[in-house]
Amino acid sequence: MSLDPWTLAAIVGMALATYACRAGGYWLFSKIRPTAFLRSVLSYIPGTLFVSFVLPALVNGGLQPTAGAVVTLGVMLRTRSLAWSMLAGTAAAWAVWSLR
């Protein structure tokens, strides 16, 4: 197996872009002091990003991702445990996949 130089260049370029985004954020917030309002707004970003990843899979994925999401949500509401809910949701999606 050989590695195409263009593929390697793309991987390195994306790694540098990712690093620049993270480092830029740390640099920016070392220079400014965000207000309480801005901190509040920024606290919602992780949840909205998660929804933007999960929702297309639920809309286009069929029974497997839907079963996983429903079980994950149910276990999370019942136990309030992230680890158990992820494990249960993954197991449910795998079970639906194995029944096909």
**Is residue 5 a part of any domain in this protein?**
yes
**Is residue 24 a part of any domain in this protein?**
yes
Say if CB 64 and CB 72 are below 8 A apart: no
**Is residue 76 a part of any domain in this protein?**
yes
Boundaries of domain holding 20: 1-32
- pTM surpassing 0.85? no
**Is residue 37 a part of any domain in this protein?**
no
Rg (Cα) of the chain, in Å, rounded?
20
pLDDT band at 11 (very low <50, low <70, confident <90, very high): very high
Residues 89, 47 share a domain: yes
Q: What is the mean pLDDT of residues 71-95?
A: 96
Q: How many whole angstroms from its chain centre is CA 76?
A: 17
- The mean pLDDT value of the chain amounts to 92
- pLDDT at residue 61 is higher than 90: no
Indicate the SS3 state at residue 100. Answer: coil
Say if CB 47 and CB 72 are below 8 A apart: no
How many structural domains comprise the chain? 2
Residues 52, 9 share a domain: no
